[in-house]
Every structure is written in structure tokens, then in C-alpha cells.
Amino acid sequence: MTAGGARRTAWQNCVFALFWLSGITAMAVMLAVVGYVMVKGIPEFSIDFFTTSPRGGLSGEGGIASTIVTTAYLVVMTMAIAAPLGTAAGIYLVEYAGNSRNRVATAFLKLSRFGIETLAGVPSIIFGLFGYALFVTAMHFGFSLLSAALAGACLVLPVVVRTAEEAFKSVPDAYREASLSLGATRWETIWKVVLPSATPGLTTGIILGVGRILSETAVFYVTLGGSCRTPTSIFSSGRTMALHVYYLAMETRAFDKAMATGAVLVILIIFVNLAINAVSKRLSAGGNRS
Amino acid sequence: MTRKGIIDEAMRVVLLCAGLASLSIVVLIGLFILRESLPAFHEIGVWNLLSGKEWRPGQGQFGLLPMIAGSGLVTLGAICLGLPLALCCGIFLAEIAPTWIRVVVRPSIELLAGIPSVVYGLFGLVVLVPAVRQIDYPGNAGFGLLSASIVLAVMILPTIASVSEVAIRSVPDEYRQGALALGSTRWEMIRRVVLPAARSGILSAVVLGLGRALGETIAMIMVIGNSVMMPTTMGGPLPGIFLSRARTLTGNIAVEMSYATGLHSSALFATGVVLFVLIMIVNSAARALMSRNVRGGRP
């Protein structure tokens, strides 16, 4: 090997060492955060922690029972609004507007895509601002599950529409043509052929939305109120687990409880990710079959 | 018309309505926030809002400059700390790391991108703030731009690393083989061929990170100190400005929204508009850079 070649190889080794170092550092930094929360949080887990509600006040006593219930209600309510609406919008965009040569439909498609792209880049606090002003104040829903769910639905709608669109687009046109040629109407084709084939993709979108609601804090900080009681109706105030972490950290000195609640959240997010991976594996398996 | 035909037509209308509803939410959010912010822009004036250094809602002073400076500085800090590490991590994962590392690391980075921001904020509050407080500097309380920049750097790391990794991996293998066949080392291949080819994807990774940094709310409230003063060096050298307390645009909205009324409330909506415009500027600047790159890349 020439002297120049040796120098270039030596240089490459130096640079690659640097890349190894930065890769390891990045991983170490990120794991340190999650690891710290888990190590400090998990020892606080106990039956009491999961079955009693926060007692409120400055002491930070009590568990997280009511926050689990509130989180579950909120996730269900938000997705009950966002999932059907987003899926239906996705169907329209792909199955009707997408195939149409009508100029209005094409313009609608372009506008929607631009709107959804824009909405996806909007910081969540803007949704909070909107939700607070419209649902909490103007519509008099107050700080409530309903206001929070409506604001949350606006937040996850772009995610759901986008994944729905992708899911419908990935259904081969041959399926539609076969169904239509057998005499099925357009709606029958969508309902009996396209929708079942797109189910794994739609599921991914919904799970992504659930993850987003689990980890969102800013929107619910300004729409949900923050009462630590278990909600009794859709007009009850409440606090999600993420919000509970915030209140514990900022208004009490109960950092251990905050860490424990944070650890619960991290574990839930791990499950959400596993679920997404499992669904997308099924998705690719289905793709191979066809 | 047959029954089937009626159902078909009815469903078309229903789905059209869903599409329209989704679109109208976008329009509604924009219009609503603009309408609510109009009184502030009208009564205070755009220039006074943007350049005013005092934010005292009680006395009718609504200057957003301290918050714009806060958001700008904390984003700058996060980019300085996080971007090189994140990009190196992306390059490492795409080109250098052995497969087993990639298999382990990629899902964990995806996981880290999904960790709630409040958890990062909590970590900052419990670990970073006391650590920063140890720095001997007049007026240093631990809460401030430095702690916030570090938290934000960690938060944008997974986003930038994973998106840039995907961008680098999507460069066709022929490029790599061509470069190697011409006698370049692997590093020369990465630097001269792969990275330039992946530039637009890497740029969009950076934009995503910037957007996340500018839009982050809760973690910022927890560690930045939320003071409405202009960040200052507190009499020391210039880097000392990062030990100053500050407030971000996002934090300004979140902290004061629940008790604001009248012009104050309108000024918070104006804060939202400023934030939105700021993010739009960042996005379109990046898009302009990218389109220039695409044109240059096509021989």
C-alpha cells in the first residue's frame, strides 16, 4: 500500500473512532434519562400506589389510581372522535378525490394535504390555546374531559388521516378493479374489500394516536383542569398521568412519586411501540401474501 | 335508483363531509387564533409586540421580545449541543455500526422519540438543574437557558438521529460501490458521495428537530425558570447569558392562559401567532434550501 493510502486509512480510522464515540455517547445520554427515571421510579411501585388516588395538596401523598382512570377515559374519548373522522377523511381523500379527474376534487385533495402537513408541524400548545379558547371558554364546556378530548382529537387527527391515507394507498388497485367488475358498488368495494385490507395500517395510526395522547401534557394542561379526583362525567375535570407528573414535580416536592408515575408512562410507551412493531410486522407479512 | 345506489351515494356524501370536517378543523384553528389575536395586534401594534422588552400584563405592557429571545436562544443552545451528536449518531447507525448494534439501537431510538416530554422535564428538574446550580456564577439558580438547552438537546437527539439515518440509508448502494471502485476509502465515500446525496433528507431531519425544539412546552416550563426578563449575561462574559432565567413563547402561553382575560388573553393568542410564523419561517427556509439542492443534484 502506498504512503498516501496508509495515511488515508489512518485518517479513516480516526474519523470512525469519533463516530463510534458519538454513537455510544448519544445512546448513553438517552439511556441515562430513561434509566434514571426507571431506577428511581420502579422501587416506588406498590399495590397502594396503583390503587389509591392522589390526596392532593402540597404533600403529594397518595397513588395514581384516578389519573389512570382519567388517562383511559381521555384516550378512549379522543380516539372515538379522531379515529372514525380521520379514517373517513382518509377514505375520501384516497378513494374518491384521489381517483377523480374533477378539478374541484383535485384542489380539495391538494388543500387537505397542505392543511394536514401544516397541522402536523404546529406545536401542541397551539392546539391547547385553540382548545382552551373554543371548548373551555366559548362553548362553556369548562375544564373537562370533553374539552380535553376535543382538543386532543384535533391534535391526533393529522396523524390518523395521514396513516389512513397511506394504508388505503397501499391496497393494490387490482382488488378494487376485481370487486367493481363483479358488480359491487363503490361503497361495497370500500367496505368489504379495501377496508379489511387496510386494517393493519389503520391500527398503526390509531396506536400512534394513543401514544400521542398518553405522552401529551401541554394541551391537557390548559384544557383538562387538573383535579385529582376520579372523573364522574364528561364534564369533570381531571388529570392524566403525564399531567400528574408535572403537578407533582412543580407543585409538590414529591419527586419520587413523580419518577414512579413517569416510569409507568415510559413502560406504557414501550408497550405502544411493541404493539406498533407487531402490527407492522403483520402488515408486511400480509403484503408478501398478496 | 336502486337501494344499493342510494347507499353508495349516501356514503360518498358522508365521507365527503368527514373530509371537509377534517379540513375545516385546520381552517378553524387558523381563523380562530387569528381572530382572537387581532385585538392585540390592533391595540398594541405589531412592532410594539415584537420589539417590546417589557411583559407586564397588569400594566398593559405586552412586549414579546424576551420570549422570542428565550425561544431563540434555547433552540440555538439545543442545536449546538444536540445536532453534531445526533448527526454523527445517524451516520454511525447508517454506515458504520455493525448489524447487531443497529438492530438493538434503532428500536430504542424510536422508543426514545416517543417518551413523554414531561419525563425529560422531570429528569432536567431533578438532575440537571441542581448540577447546573453548582457552576459558580453570580445570579445562577440552576433554572435557566443552559438546563433547558441540555434537556432540549436530549429531546431532539432521537428525532434527528433516526430521520437522518433513514435518509442516509436511502442513498442507492450503486453510489457507494461506485465510489469504492474508484479507490476511495469508506470515509471518503461517506463524506464525498453518501452525505451529499442524502443532504435533503438530513436537512429535513434538522427541520423536524428545530420544530420540535421551538414547539416544546412542558419540559421548558419545568427547567427554564419562566422569568419574563430579557436574558442577560448578569454582568459576566457573553456565554453567561445561558445561565440566565428565561421564558419561551410556548411557556408564555401555557403559564398564563388559564387566568388571562381581555387584551392579555388576546396577547397570548398573538404569542401563538408569532410562534406559528416562526416555525413557518424555519420550515419554508428549509424547504427552499432543499428544493435548491434537488435541482442541483439532478445532473
Q: Kindly provide the b/e burial profile for residues B106-132, where b requires at least 16 CB atoms within 10 angstroms of the residue's own CB.
A: bebbebbbbbbbbbbbbbbbbbbbeeb
Partners of A221 on chain B (C-beta within 8 Å) are: 217-218, 254
pLDDT surpasses 90 at B245 = no
CB-based burial of residue B136 (10 Å sphere; 0-12 exposed, 13-18 middle, 19+ buried)? exposed
Q: Are residues A123 and A201 in the same domain?
A: yes
Query: Does B105 sit within 8 Å of A27, measured CB to CB?
Result: yes
Check residue A253 and give left, alpha or beta (phi > 0: left; psi -120 to 50: alpha): alpha
What is the span of the domain harbouring residue A33?
3-44
pLDDT digits (tens, 9 = 90+) for B205-237: 888 888 889 999 999 999 998 888 888 877 778
Q: Are residues A148 and A19 in the same domain?
A: no
pLDDT surpasses 90 at A80 = yes
What percent of chain B has pLDDT above 90? 41
CATH number of B65-297: 1.10.3720.10
- The x, y and z cell numbers of residue A272, run together, are 405502544
pLDDT digits (tens, 9 = 90+) for B132-156: 888 888 878 889 899 999 999 999 9
Q: Among residues B31, B32, B30, B38, which one has the least CA distance to residue B270?
A: B38
Q: Are residues A64 and A33 in the same domain?
A: no
Count of alpha carbons within 13 Å of A268, Cβ hemisphere only? 22
**CA–CA separation, B4 and A281 (whole Å):** 36
Q: Are residues A19 and A53 in the same domain?
A: no
Q: Are residues A18 and A156 in the same domain?
A: no
How far is A89 from chain B, CA to nearest CA, in Å? 4
Map grid coordinates 410562534 to a residue. B275
B70–A contact, CB cutoff 8 A: no
Query: Does B4 sit within 8 Å of A22, measured CB to CB?
Result: no
DSSP characters over B76-136: HHHHHHHHHHHHHHHHIIIIIS-HHHHHHHHHHHHHHHHS-HHHHHHHIIIIIHHHHHTS-
Chain A residue with CA closest to B150: the answer is: A29
pLDDT surpasses 90 at A84 = yes
Q: Which of A125, A144, A150, A168 to mutate to test the interface with B (most CBs of B within 10 A)?
A: A125
What pairs with residue B155 in β-bridges? Answer: none
pLDDT band at B16 (very low <50, low <70, confident <90, very high): confident
CATH of the domain at A55: 1.10.3720.10
Q: Which residue in B16, B121, B254 is closest to A92 by CB distance?
A: B16
- Residue B297: per-residue pLDDT: 45
DSSP characters over A188-253: HHIIIIIHHHHHHHHHHHHHHHHHHHHH--HHHHTTSB---SPP-STT--B--HHHHHHHHHHHS-
pLDDT surpasses 90 at A147 = yes
Q: Which of B1, B12, B15 to mutate to test the interface with A (most CBs of A within 10 A)?
A: B15
B77–A contact, CB cutoff 8 A: no
Task: Yes or no: say if A220 and B257 are a contact pair by the CB < 8 Å rule.
Answer: no
How do the domains of chain B map onto residue ranges? 65-297
pLDDT surpasses 80 at A13 = yes
- Assessment of whether the complete model's pTM goes beyond 0.95: no
Query: Does A19 sit within 8 Å of B14, measured CB to CB?
Result: no
Structurally, how many domains does chain A consist of? 2
Q: Are residues A182 and A118 in the same domain?
A: yes
Q: Are residues A181 and A246 in the same domain?
A: yes
* Greater model confidence, A56 or A37: A37
Q: Which residue in A132, A186, A269 is closest to B114 by CB distance?
A: A269
Q: Among residues A69, A103, A111, A83, which one has the least CA distance to residue A236?
A: A69
Which pairs with CB-CB distance under 8 Å and at least 24 residues apart come from A169-177? A169/A94, A169/A98, A170/A198, A170/A201, A170/A287, A171/A197, A171/A198, A172/A290
Q: Are residues A26 and A94 in the same domain?
A: no
Task: Yes or no: say if B122 and B222 are a contact pair by the CB < 8 Å rule.
Answer: yes
Q: Are residues A37 and A173 in the same domain?
A: no
pLDDT band at A284 (very low <50, low <70, confident <90, very high): low
Q: Which residue in B254, B279, B283 is closest to A128 by CB distance?
A: B254
Chain B residue with CA closest to A160: the answer is: B22
Q: Are residues A152 and A22 in the same domain?
A: no
Q: Are residues A105 and A236 in the same domain?
A: yes
**CA–CA separation, B142 and B134 (whole Å):** 8
**CA–CA separation, A97 and A284 (whole Å):** 27
Partners of B88 on chain A (C-beta within 8 Å) are: 18-19, 22-23, 26
**CA–CA separation, B19 and A91 (whole Å):** 8
Q: Are residues A276 and A201 in the same domain?
A: yes
Question: A71-80, A231-240, B173-182: lowest mean pLDDT where?
Answer: A231-240
**CA–CA separation, A81 and A104 (whole Å):** 27
Q: What is the ipTM of this complex?
A: 0.88
**CA–CA separation, B265 and A227 (whole Å):** 23
pLDDT digits (tens, 9 = 90+) for A252-269: 878 888 999 999 999 999
Crossing angle of helices A195-215 and A145-169, rounded to 10°: 140
What percent of chain A has pLDDT above 90? 37
pLDDT digits (tens, 9 = 90+) for A156-187: 998 899 899 989 998 999 999 999 999 888 88
- Residue B165: per-residue pLDDT: 92
At B233 the three-state DSSP class reads coil
Query: Does B117 sit within 8 Å of A217, measured CB to CB?
Result: yes
